[in-house]
Amino acid sequence: MAMDQMHKMKEIKQQVTRFLMMYKFALQELETKVEILKEEFQLLHEYNPIEHTSSRLKSPKSIIEKMFRKQSDLTFTSIRDHIKDIAGLRINCSFISDIYRISDMLQNQSDLKLLAVKDYIKNPKPNGYQSLHLLIEVPVFISDRRENVCVEVQIRTIAMDFWASLEHKIFYKYKHAIPPHLLQELKEAADSAAALDKKMERLHNEIEEIKEESENDLGDEMIRLLMGNQRGSIPTMLLELFEEGQQKK
């Protein structure tokens, strides 16, 4: 009897491991895609919209507790249907515009399927929480089959992430019963973070406009020099540098 129980426990453990393994592979697949997009954007635009990424898998304990709260059957099919954030990927950006840029880039991946969007930036939660949530179905290919696995992607600015991290710590410290004065201060902090994001975005845009104007002025000056070139009055090295720059563009 004891051997049968041990065998059954071992079999259950293997099933759980295999189940969570698919979510782990889905995260790895998505992280690779994000890394490629990040490098491509850096090479083409000399700018990186992604500051930092992190991923996590819910533990079996957390999954079971959430299923009990939902009063759902404790089967793998039920878990897959009722819990959509077993695998989570968080992407931190510098600016709000980057959030939607990254979202568009992911949605343009032909093998990814967008299941749902929750925009807590345009519609913040009552406590002030802001973030863009995407539920994305990722194809995972293993030795004997293909499985489509759901991953929750959270895209937010650094300021939004800092606020969310603090709120999470306070939430669990007070066991979900946060004193009213702290709730008010958290909401005020969220408003301040949102104002900071908007100000930093405006400054970023102004700097980019100045940079673009400077580059255009430099390009015009180079063209004038070339147009006025008579019998090598412009050094050969300058011409070579200009041609090299044009090729890179």
Active centre residues (catalytic): 152
Q: 33-67 burial by CB neighbour count: b if 16+ within 10 A, else e? A: bbeebbeebeeeeeeebbeebebebbeeeebeebb
DSSP label of 134: E
Six-digit token string for 92: 């931190």
Of 171, 188, 190, the closest CA to residue 179 belongs to: 171
DSSP 82-128: H-S-SEEEEEEESSHHHHHHHHHHHHT-TT-EEEEEEETTTS--TT-
Phi-psi region of 48 (alpha: psi -120 to 50; beta: other; left: phi over 0): beta
Q: Report the C-alpha gap between 112 and 154 in whole angstroms.
A: 16
For tokens 């990254």, name the residue.
102
Q: Report the C-alpha gap between 175 and 57 in whole angstroms.
A: 22
What residues contact 23, with CB distance under 8 A and at least 6 apart?
57, 86, 87, 149, 151
